[in-house]
Amino acid sequence: MAAELHVELVAADRSVWSGEATLVVARTTSGDIGVMPGHQPLLGVLESGPVTIRTSDGGTVVAAVHGGFVSFADNKLSLLAEIAELSDEIDVQRVERELERAKAEGDASAERRADVRLRAVSAR
């Protein structure tokens, strides 16, 4: 059996995803980081962006994460985010509409949020 690590993806108000994985790729403030089983204990600040989780059954889970933290110890990885959505939950058309509106209104943070969601969908 390949080595596995346990992943918990939690948002402020709910637990978004949890399961076993072989590789987790996330973007911290100092660059992309890939965590595999047996990584050294790590605590990092996440950038808004897609997080890719390769599950142990060969599948891929992509989530849009808006700020937060990644912490890894004892083969357990926690991804904490104020807002986190799985790419399957994202409604592309709605996000595109949001992006249009944000651009029109010059709302930078809304534009960034929509952009992160779209990137998560396209990374799927």
**Which residue number, 29 or 93, has a Cβ lying nearer to another protein?**
29
Neighbouring C-alpha atoms within 13 Å toward the C-beta of 75: 10
Phi-psi region for residue 22, left (φ > 0), alpha (ψ -120 to 50) or beta? alpha
Closest approach of Cβ 77 to another protein, in Å? 11
Q: What share of the chain is helix, strand, coil (3-state, %, to 5)?
A: 25, 50, 25
Q: Does 33 bind another protein (CB under 8 A)?
A: yes
Closest approach of Cβ 27 to another protein, in Å? 11
Which residues contact another protein (rule: CB under 8 A)? Answer: 8, 10-15, 28-30, 33, 40-45, 68-71, 73-74, 78, 80, 82-83
